[in-house]
Amino acid sequence: MALPLHTLDVFTDRRFSGNPLAVVMDADALTGAQMQDIARELNLSETVFVLKSQNPAHSARIRIFTPAQELPFAGHPTIGTATLLAELRTPLVNGERDAIIVLEQAIGTVRIGVRLRDGQAPFAEFDAPKLPEKINIPPSRDRIADALGLLPREIGFENHTPQCLSAGNTFAFVPVAGMEAIARARVEQAHWASVFPSSTFNGVYLYTRECVHSGSAFHARMFAPQLGVPEDPATGSAAVCFAGVVHDFDGLPDGAHRRVIEQGHEMGRPSAISLTLVTQNGRLETVRIGGSAIRVIDGKISV
């Protein structure tokens, strides 16, 4: 059996940057074990399997796998799959087309708005299906520093301190003093599993205000060896949780606030994630994730 296979670079408008994604179409006959084998073979941060929707009014049902396990939700698979389905299924009218793609995921139904224009990379945006919430107490600054190969004084800046948040996936958020320190960060195997156990964390998200690009608000890195992802070039699900960090520490007034997060530079895969926070009466009401995606490979996979 040969199934259509597409790859895309997500959270970028240029090929060979951003976060690579594989999408396997017409995957209804595959078992979960087969999907995991394919994801392990492709060895990208995530591989998406597109199935018929359970609700005929929806675009598709998807399952998302890292090389090590299935996820209930992820940002770059949501953006990439939505732009791909819009390109494949939406007719072009006067050089442009807009689409609403509705994807059934384990976390729930996600609606994605997609904008396609001649000569431009497709852009997609969605409201997070779940708002971030604080869980657990973060490890101590000294233990975090040991696990990242940094000095304790390099953990934290301004009023930002380490936090643990979840919005379907759970991350430890580690503020780092600057770009020089964040570039030196690494997974210290001798300490990692005890500081960031896989039973608690999907990944560890480092961030600083120092940025490569003037239009960016934060520079980030994300390590997830527990998911089979040593480092991720762009992490939409972590950006959803990060909205809670920004809201809590930066004292945002009511209204809509857009922040661009740059990620992947240390990997040679520069990415840009658009994060919009909507606050009302001092509370975080909506988190919106947006980004571009561009197709790279169209082919088939034999299973």
- Rounded to an integer, what distance in angstroms lies between the CA atom of residue 109 and that of residue 174? 30
Q: What does the block give as tokens for 1?
A: 């059996």
- Rounded to an integer, what distance in angstroms lies between the CA atom of residue 27 and that of residue 261? 33
Cα radius of gyration (the chain):
19
Strand-pairing partners, residue 256, are: 278
Set 46, 87, 104, 262: catalytic member: 46
Where b means 16+ CB within 10 Å and e means fewer, 253-281 reads eeeebebbbbbbbbbebbbbbbbbbbbee
Extract the runs of DSSP E, i.e. beta strands, from 25-153.
46-51, 60-65, 70-71, 96-105, 108-117, 123-127, 133-134
Alpha helices in 28-70 (DSSP H): 32-42
Pairing of strands 255-263, 46-51: unpaired
- Establish whether 70 is a catalytic residue: no
Question: Which amino acid is located at 36 in the chain?
Answer: Q
Question: Residue 290 is inside which H or E element, if any?
Answer: strand 283-302
Strand-pairing partners, residue 70, are: 65
Q: 3-state SS string over 234-287?
A: CCHHHHHHHHHHHHHHHCCCCEEEEEEEEECHHHCCCEEEEEEEEEECCEEEEE
Count the neighbouring beta carbons within 10 Å of the beta carbon of residue 199: 5
> Which positions are catalytic?
46
